[in-house]
C-alpha cells in the first residue's frame, strides 16, 4: 500500500482516537516500522493541536506494533501559543508506543539563525543505492529510495558509525508535511549497524525529534540525513540524527536509543 493511501485509510472514532491496521509491506520484522509508528501517533495528535506547528516529539517504542492499532490523544496542557499532547498507541496485546508532542505557534523574535551546515554531497541520481540487493532489505524500506553518500552499508564492518544518505518516499503523492517527515526520518537502520560483521537483531527504544521549521517542502521529495553512532555499550547504542531538505536547509535534529542483540 502506498504511503498516501495508508495515511488516508486512518479512521477516527467519535472520541477522537485513530484506528488503522498496518499492512505487511510496512512491517519491520514483527512490528510496524518505527518511523511509521511515530507518524501515526503524530497524525492522531493533530486534530487537538489547533493548527499549531509541531516543534518536538518524544517517542517510546514500548512493544511490537501489529494488528489493529488505536492511538488515543490527550491534551496535557494548552496555552495561547503552545500545546502539549500525549498519544498512547495500543494493539491487541497492550501498549505499543507512548508519545509526547509539543506544538507551538510562530513567535516574533530577535534571534533568527541556523548554525547547522549540511555535509558535502553528490546529487541523488549520482549516488549509489543504500540497499543494492532488493531481496535483502526490510519490507517497509521498499517504499523508500535511499542513496548512500558516506559510510558503510549494514553489517559491512565499517570502521565508524556515521552514515550520510539521500532519502525520499517512492510515493509521488506523499504530502510534504510533518507527518511525512517523521515517517521518513527513521528509514535507515541504526548507524552502528554498519560496524557489525555478523547479523544481529536491533530494536529502537526511544526517539526524540525536534522540528526546526514549519515548512517541509524539498526538491523532488529528497531529504539529506546524517546519522552518527556516538556510543555503543552493554547492548545499547545512542545516535545523533540530523536532516536537511535538498537545498541544504535544516529541518530536523534528533537522538535515538537502540537495543542491539548481539
Residue 43 forms part of a structural domain: yes
- Stretches where the chain sits below pLDDT 70 are none
If one counts the domains in the chain, the total is 1
* Residue that is written with C-alpha cell 525529534 in the block: 209
Conformation bin of residue 26: beta by default, left when phi > 0, alpha when psi is -120 to 50: alpha
Cβ atoms within 10 Å, residue 120: 8
Residue 251 falls within a domain, yes or no?
Answer: yes
Cα–Cα dist 146/139, whole Å: 14
- In a domain? residue 133: yes
Determine contact, residues 41/99, Cβ cutoff 8 Å.
yes
Which structural domain, as residue segments, surrounds residue 161?
3-105+121-261
What was the pLDDT predicted at 171? Answer: 97
Q: What is the pLDDT of residue 108?
A: 86
Q: Is 7 exposed, middle or buried (0-12, 13-18, 19+ CB in 10 A)?
A: buried
The confidence score (pLDDT) of residue 134 equals 75
In a domain, 110, yes or no: no
pLDDT value of residue 186: 94
Supply the pLDDT for residue 201. Answer: 86
The answer to whether residue 56 sits within a structural domain is yes
Q: Rounded to an integer, what distance in angstroms lies between the CA atom of residue 33 and that of residue 187? A: 8
Q: What is the pLDDT of residue 140?
A: 94
CATH number at residue 101: 2.40.160.210
Q: What is the pLDDT of residue 202?
A: 86
In a domain? residue 114 = no
pLDDT value for 182: 97
Is 38 within the bounds of a domain? yes
Of 257, 216, 217, 212, nearest in space to 237 by CA: 257
Q: Is residue 234 a part of any domain in this protein?
A: yes
Beta strands in 68-143 (DSSP E): 68-78, 82-91, 94-104
Q: What is d(CA 213, CA 57) in angstroms, rounded to the nearest whole number?
A: 14
For position 239, what pLDDT does the model report? 97
Predicted pLDDT of residue 250? 97
* Cα distances (angstroms) measured from residue 205 to each of 4, 50, 97: 26, 29, 10
Q: According to the model, what pLDDT value does residue 141 have?
A: 94
Cα–Cα distance measured from residue 167 to residue 21, given in angstroms and rounded to the nearest whole number: 25
- The b-or-e profile of 93-115 (16+ CB within 10 A means b, else e) is eeebbbbbbbbbbeeeeeeeeee
Pairwise CA distance, residues 196 & 185, whole Å:
22
pLDDT for the residue numbered 112: 85
- Please tell me the predicted confidence (pLDDT) of residue 222: 97
Element (H, E) at 34: helix 34-45
Amino acid at each position: 500500500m502506498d504511503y498516501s493511501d495508508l495515511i488516508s485509510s486512518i479512521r477516527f472514532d467519535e472520541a477522537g482516537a485513530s484506528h488503522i491496521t498496518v499492512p505487511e509491506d510496512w512491517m519491520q520484522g514483527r512490528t510496524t516500522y518505527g518511523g511509521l509508528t511515530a507518524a501515526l501517533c503524530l497524525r492522531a495528535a493533530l486534530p487537538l493541536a489547533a493548527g499549531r506547528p509541531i516543534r518536538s516529539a518524544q517517542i517510546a517504542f514500548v512493544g511490537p506494533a501489529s494488528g489493529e492499532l488505536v492511538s488515543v490523544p490527550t491534551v496535557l496542557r494548552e496555552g495561547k501559543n503552545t500545546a502539549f499532547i500525549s498519544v498512547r498507541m495500543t494493539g491487541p496485546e497492550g501498549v505499543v508506543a507512548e508519545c509526547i508532542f509539543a506544538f507551538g505557534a510562530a513567535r516574533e523574535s530577535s534571534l533568527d539563525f541556523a548554525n547547522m551546515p549540511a555535509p558535502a554531497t553528490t546529487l541523488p541520481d549520482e549516488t549509489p543505492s543504500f540497499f543494492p540487493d532488493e531481496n535483502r532489505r526490510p519490507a517497509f524500506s521498499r517504499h523508500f529510495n535511499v542513496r548512500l553518500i558516506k559510510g558503510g552499508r549494514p553489517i559491512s564492518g565499517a570502521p565508524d558509525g556515521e552514515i550520510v544518505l539521500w532519502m525520499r518516499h517512492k510515493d509521488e503523492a506523499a504530502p510534504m508535511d510533518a507527518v511525512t517527515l517523521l515517517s521518513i526520518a527513521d528509514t535507515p537502520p541504526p548507524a552502528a549497524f554498519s560496524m557489525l560483521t555478523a547479523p544481529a537483531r536491533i530494536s529502537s527504544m526511544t526517539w526524540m525529534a525536534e522540528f526546526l521549521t514549519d515548512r517541509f517542502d524539498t526538491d523532488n521529495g529528497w531529504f539529506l540525513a546524517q546519522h552518527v553512532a556516538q556510543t555503543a555499550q552493554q547492548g545499547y547504542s545512542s545516535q545523533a540524527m540530523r536532516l536537511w531538505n535538498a537545498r541544504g536547509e535544516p529541518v530536523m535534529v534528533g537522538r535515538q536509543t537502540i537495543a542491539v542483540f548481539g
